[in-house]
Structure 1
Amino acid sequence: MTALDSAAKVNQRLLSPFPGVGLDPVWIGAGLREVGLEPATPLLPEQHQAAKALMDGRHPATGEPLVKAKVATHPRAKVAAEPLLKVLQQAAAERGTTVETMLCGVPRAGERFARLVRGVRRERDRHLLPIADAERLATCAAVDLALAYDRDLLQEARACRQARVVVRNRGFDLGIDVPKSVSVLYALAHTKLAAAVEDALATAVADVLAAVEGWAGYGLRGQHGGGRWAQRVPGTGLLGWVRWTVAAWPVAGHVGDLFLGAHLILANLVRGVDGRWSAVGAGGRDLYRHAHAAGALANARLRRLLSERHGIAWSRRPGTSAWEIAGVPEPLRILFSKRARQVSAAVAEALKSVEPDSRLSLKQRDRITLWIREYGEDAASPLENLHASWRQQARAIGCDPLSVTRSCRGAISSGLPARPAPADIATRRWQRAASRASSTPGPVPGRRHGLGAGRGPRRCGQRRRRRSADRAGIARQRRDRAASPRRQPPLQQPAIPACPRRHVALSSKTAHVPGTPEEA
């Protein structure tokens, strides 16, 4: 999931095609009716300005602001906080007192200084504070700002004192990825079966959107923080559109591997049942909390729909335990995973330049993925040509596309098993959690006969003491990792040859997104 905090990111999701885009974008979200738009309809090129207006927090028809834009001090009107902190501490030492004592007579000055200290402790020399706050603290402590900053720097910051910038998130990009075997089936299938897979994915995405609207489609009223709790107000639905993908970035001069999925572009905007507009789910934090659940729900609904409609059977993938279509052989999944192999090779090459015991962080792996993307002149490739290329690659390794699709369909002939009751699901999850926590202190949640009388308080006390010890051990490990320079090794950009990037031309077909999803 990605936050869209700039107009450039919004334009990229709206105007610039994703690699392998083959279906037209579609409006989604029940909240669209609040602004005169209809969900489950195509997002036409002449409606791009309306989509941008929603991301900016404005009404798409009238341009009226729906939410107040969150603004902050311009970066040029800020100065580094660490020099001022050193000057204040030096002045307090010379006077034989503390900075807090010097500021105690001014309302909120001590609180602002405490925030400054926390920011410097957390970010060191990267922590900035507005010039107005710096002048206020210096005046209250009777120190000269010229002792901490150059004259030119102070003059520039004071000239930009009133400048403000918009810092609100315009929206969010919630990505839905499907198993590789589903993409393989879609790539090798005939036109009718490929359309059925598209329809199943559209239905699953509609179900996920309905669930996300229930999880995070609300607004907050009042102040939240400082000992106060804001009031939660249900919303009338989210607003946005969905972009469909069918292929990934090209690798080694070949067309991109098949990569079926969807991107839910959701505006940071929701109208409450009280008629007021506000940000989504506490500023989007609830969307982040439920991003993994949304992806899991989408894949679960997709598996159910494909099994019910086409009799497709599923099996766990060894090593990852991910669900894959049983009829898709492993060599095909490996064949159409060129990007993953390229990233693995680049990671291995990057590790050659660092110490043997070093490991790469997730952020460093993302940087490597960006490095190896090939950029060049765009070469439009119709969706039909992509399917032909994928079938040709499958035949080259001895896999007949027709045989693969036949082996996938009709694998379930006796009907699907009955859906377990919620109590059974809860019991299974509780027992699984108990098995994972078997080595932890305290009572085991999954015991068959429960706990004996009188054992709760004693074991709870043991659990508290051991939990404190565990926290202390975790804190030591974190300090050791932070002090070790071998945990985050510097990377050298791998030398990977570039090749032209291919984009798939937009198809005239539009995926159907049902208005009323089935029960998940």
Structure 2
Amino acid sequence: MEPATAYGMAGHHGDGERAQRVESSGLIGWVTLHRSARPVDASPGDPHLHAHVNIAHLVHCEDGKWRAPGAGGEDFHQYARLINEVAEARFRAKLIEKYGARFELSAKGAWELVGIDEDVRTALSRRHQQIVTLVGRDATREQQKSAARRTAEAKEDVEAPAPRQDWRTRAATQLGGEDAVDRMLAAALPGPDGSAPPLSAGGGPRMPSPVEIAARMWDVEHGLTASKKTVSRTHVLAAVAAAVPYLLSAEQLVALTDEVLAVDGHVVRLPDSNRHHHVHRQQYTHSAMLVGRCGTIEAEGASFASARDEQRC
């Protein structure tokens, strides 16, 4: 995120003038690691490893001045999902290499750790169930976030063993004893397979092909253009990161994304965004957004009109 957002803007922007991007020495911030969700009914929160990234709202620019970063902070929102997907894919890679973990896609498209009993998963997801009870399973992401804020209990400062023992007790209740918990964990995290090559040498789970990733990413009902007509480069990068079982580096993600975008029959490149200070200005749509709409696409704006001409409607 830093190369894309750690800059300031100098000069007037508007009235025919354009502010200039000024590079800086980088972002200033810190990370707070949490291992559990918020408490439910005054008991320790469920397992929920996550991090809060706090970034100072200023950067020291190369001209010596301090300025607000990332177009006043706007860019941070643009990259939030991408950073989250990359972090989760890298975390999966660490679990695979260090603990022999295996992951599979759930019906909802999320990567789940293989070997964890479904009843245990439900029992240790009380916070999620609490929110679903309030707003329903069909609620939007924003409605769920609003419910989470309204019902959040104060965080507790507790020692690590306290929530772990609570989790273990609740899991044992579901499985019929602590021995069963140990067997489940041993099956889910058996340790690395010394006979298999490392991920960097082609070992580990099968990586989906660019064709498979493109099919999922551009799915008409659930893909990127299911809810919006135009997507940015950051949207595409995040979707690719979410579609693979693991990532080894940002460079791997960029190379794989370029291969996915090159798959025939899906992507239509649109004119770049006019936000000239952005690093990732590329914009795309899916070919299905243009097919059969040649008579009305003029109303969709210049980007779609340009794409239509390229598609020879």
Q: Which residue of 1 aligns with 2:148?
A: 369
2:97–2:192 Cα contact (<8 Å) kept: no
Selected match of 1:426 from 258, 279, 291: 258
Selected match of 2:168 from 366, 391, 404: 391
Change (3 A) 1:432 1:395: farther
Selected match of 1:340 from 112, 125, 128: 128
Offset, 1:240: 1.6
Equivalent position amino acid for 2:196 in 1: S
Offset, 1:260: 1.0
Equivalent position amino acid for 1:406 in 2: A
What is the CA deviation profile of residues 345-371 of structure 1, one whole-angstrom value per residue up to 9, with x for unaligned ones?
Answer: 1224xx9xxxxxxx8665444333333
Q: How does 1:315-330 map to 2 (within 5 A)?
A: 315-318=104-107, 320-330=108-118
Taking the aligned partners of 2:253 and 2:133, their CA distance within structure 1 comes to: 45
Change (3 A) 1:322 1:433: farther
Matched, 1:304 2:93: yes
Taking the aligned partners of 1:239 and 1:425, their CA distance within structure 2 comes to: 29
Matched, 1:437 2:286: yes
Over the matched positions of the two proteins, sequence identity in percent amounts to: 28
Matched, 1:409 2:258: no
Equivalent position amino acid for 1:237 in 2: G
Q: Which TM-score applies when normalising by structure 1?
A: 0.40
Q: How does 1:53-452 map to 2 (within 5 A)?
A: 212-318=1-107, 320-348=108-136, 362-374=141-153, 381-398=158-175, 400-407=180-187, 408-410=189-191, 413-415=195-197, 416=199, 417=202, 425-431=257-263, 434=266, 437-441=286-290
Change (3 A) 1:231 1:380: closer
Change (3 A) 1:414 1:225: same
Give the structure, 1 or 2, with the largest relative contact order (CA under 8 Å, sep 6 or more).
Answer: 1
Offset, 1:424: 5.1
Change (3 A) 1:360 1:299: closer
SS of 1:229's partner is coil
Offset, 1:267: 0.6
Offset, 1:373: 3.2
Offset, 1:429: 3.8
Change (3 A) 1:330 1:227: farther
What is the CA deviation profile of residues 203-230 of structure 1, one whole-angstrom value per residue up to 9, with x for unaligned ones?
Answer: xxxxxxxxx1111011111112222222
2:12–2:19 Cα contact (<8 Å) kept: yes
1:441–1:466 Cα contact (<8 Å) kept: no
What is the CA deviation profile of residues 220-279 of structure 1, one whole-angstrom value per residue up to 9, with x for unaligned ones?
Answer: 111122222221122111112211111222223432111111111101110122222111
What is the CA deviation profile of residues 370-402 of structure 1, one whole-angstrom value per residue up to 9, with x for unaligned ones?
Answer: 333346xx8753211211111111111117332
Change (3 A) 1:256 1:432: farther
Taking the aligned partners of 1:411 and 1:316, their CA distance within structure 2 comes to: 21
**Which stretches in structure 1 are left out of the alignment for 5+ residues?**
1-211, 352-358, 443-458, 472-520
Change (3 A) 1:363 1:405: closer
**Which stretches in structure 2 are left out of the alignment for 5+ residues?**
204-247, 268-284, 302-313
Aligned-residue RMSD, C-alpha: 3.1
Taking the aligned partners of 1:321 and 1:239, their CA distance within structure 2 comes to: 34
- The structure that has the greater radius of gyration is 1
Taking the aligned partners of 2:97 and 2:48, their CA distance within structure 1 comes to: 23
Taking the aligned partners of 2:129 and 2:11, their CA distance within structure 1 comes to: 50
2:35–2:47 Cα contact (<8 Å) kept: yes
Offset, 1:317: 1.5
What is the CA deviation profile of residues 82-129 of structure 1, one whole-angstrom value per residue up to 9, with x for unaligned ones?
Answer: xxxxxxxxxxxxxxxxxxxxxxxxxxxxxxxxxxxxxxxxxxxxxxxx
What is the CA deviation profile of residues 305-362 of structure 1, one whole-angstrom value per residue up to 9, with x for unaligned ones?
Answer: 22223332221122x21112223233222121101111111224xx9xxxxxxx8665
Change (3 A) 1:297 1:364: closer
2:11–2:20 Cα contact (<8 Å) kept: yes
Aligned length in residues:
229
Change (3 A) 1:362 1:308: closer
Selected match of 1:467 from 297, 302, 308: 297
Q: Which residue of 2 aligns with 1:104?
A: none
1:221–1:233 Cα contact (<8 Å) kept: yes
1:313–1:411 Cα contact (<8 Å) kept: no
Equivalent position amino acid for 1:431 in 2: V
Taking the aligned partners of 2:157 and 2:254, their CA distance within structure 1 comes to: 49
What is the CA deviation profile of residues 453-507 of structure 1, one whole-angstrom value per residue up to 9, with x for unaligned ones?
Answer: xxxxxx9xx75x5323557xxxxxxxxxxxxxxxxxxxxxxxxxxxxxxxxxxxx
Equivalent position amino acid for 2:297 in 1: R
